[in-house]
Amino acid sequence: MPFKMMFILIGGLLFLASTAGYIYAKVRLRPRGESDVDEYYYEFEDQHPGLARYYAWCRVTWGGIITAMLLIFLALVL
């Protein structure tokens, strides 16, 4: 299997999985209105467990999306 095809397949699957994970994180992991995030001082709100998990998932999935786009770009350019 040529490396271009492998880059496209891996990049495409990674893009789909990361996009689905990002949407899931934005919809389901965001702390709701009844959470105690408002009780935290704004400088320490990233230490809230729910908010920290939400930010971590958003960063990881966004990194996966960027990596997938880079793989697809490399497959098209090389």
What pLDDT is attached to residue 31?
74
- pTM of the predicted model over 0.85: no
The residue behind tokens 């996966």 is 64
40 pLDDT above the threshold of 70: no
Domain boundaries along the sequence of the chain: 3-77
CB contact set of 62 (below 8 Å; sequence gap of 6+): 18, 22
Cα separation of the two ends of the chain? 15
Compute CA distances 58 → 2, 24, 69, whole Å: 33, 9, 17
